[in-house]
Structure 1
């Protein structure tokens, strides 16, 4: 049973959704490898929405299969690492996500502001 009165429920739901947006945002700025993506998202959100390794790589694989990311393998110090880049379709997805999150954030802030004036 979902505990709608649980802060953990809402935080988890919000973090899961926002981490997807911030992954796109990080890659919108520049191509990155997985660890850099996680660090960037943590930086953008003060650690709030940083994806774990266990959640990041399946999500990146899904985004790649959806055609919004391309992947190139780089060899650094004898080790291979995957560098992720937004495709044109990914840039479009980022723009749509940014607009949707901007609208949603505005509505949430308005609702919370109304509540404090009641």
Structure 2
């Protein structure tokens, strides 16, 4: 089967983009450490967009480098962990992303439900 005919191909593209949105979404609600971010995203998406450790931390680093999140080190039970907090710029990006996803999802549903298919 060619990749464009594979549901897995399309699902992975969609999930990659959505997981970025959901990472900002959970940080929009409260500061969290990496494991908790992944757990919350998995919970609100029923596992659909759960970022792996290998995909989560590069996105968080990108967000940090671009001023969307701040990182604070906290000592918990003798272990140091990074806690991520959304910045004002990150909040703006989240609001724009939420609006864009709402708009795009409406178009997708409209197209899929169209009798012209």
* TM-score interval (norm. to shorter): over 0.9
Structure 2: gaps of 5 or more residues: none
Q: CA deviation at 1:4?
A: 1.1
* CA distance in structure 1 between the partners assigned to 2:44 and 2:112 by the alignment: 23
The ranges of structure 1 where at least 4 consecutive aligned residues each deviate by more than 6 angstroms after the TM superposition are none
In structure 1, distance between residues paired with 2:29 and 2:108: 26
Within 2, Cα distance between the matches of 1:13 and 1:99?
Answer: 20
Aligned residue runs from structure 1 range 38-77, under 5 A: 38-77=38-77
Equivalenced residues, count: 116
Q: TM-score, normalised by structure 2?
A: 0.95
Structure 1 alignment gaps of length 5 or more: none
TM-score (normalised: structure 1): 0.94
Structure 1 residues 26-45: aligned runs within 5 Å: 26-45=26-45
SS at match of 1:4: helix
Cα deviation code 1:44-100 (max 9, x no counterpart): 110000000011011101110000000000100010000000000000000000000
Q: Distance in 2 between matches of 1:112 and 1:44?
A: 24
SS in 2 for 1:67: coil
Q: Describe the SS at the equivalent of 2:63.
A: helix
